[in-house]
Amino acid sequence: MISNFVFDINKPIAIGADHAGFEYKEQLKQFLLNLQFNLQDFGTYSLDSVDYPDFAHPVALAVEEKVAAFGILICGSANGVAITANKHATIRAAICWINEIAVLARKHNDANIICIPARFVETAEAEKMITSFMSTAFEGGRHLNRVNKIPFGK
Q: For the chain, how long is the longest CA-to-CA vector?
A: 45
Told to judge if 108 belongs to the known catalytic residues of this protein, a careful annotator would answer yes
The span from the CA of 69 to the CA of 96, in Å, is 18
- Other C-beta atoms within 10 Å of 57: how many? 18
At residue 153, the 3 state secondary structure works out as coil
Per the residue annotation, which of 19, 57, 108, 115 is the catalytic one? 108
Quote the CA–CA distance of 68 and 30 in Å, as a whole number: 18
Annotation says 75 is catalytic? yes
Query: 72 and 114 in contact (C-beta within 8 Å)?
Result: yes
Q: How far is CA 8 from CA 19, 34, 63, 97, 117, in A?
A: 29, 18, 11, 25, 25
The catalytically annotated residue of 57, 75, 96, 115 is 75
Residues marked as catalytic: 75, 108
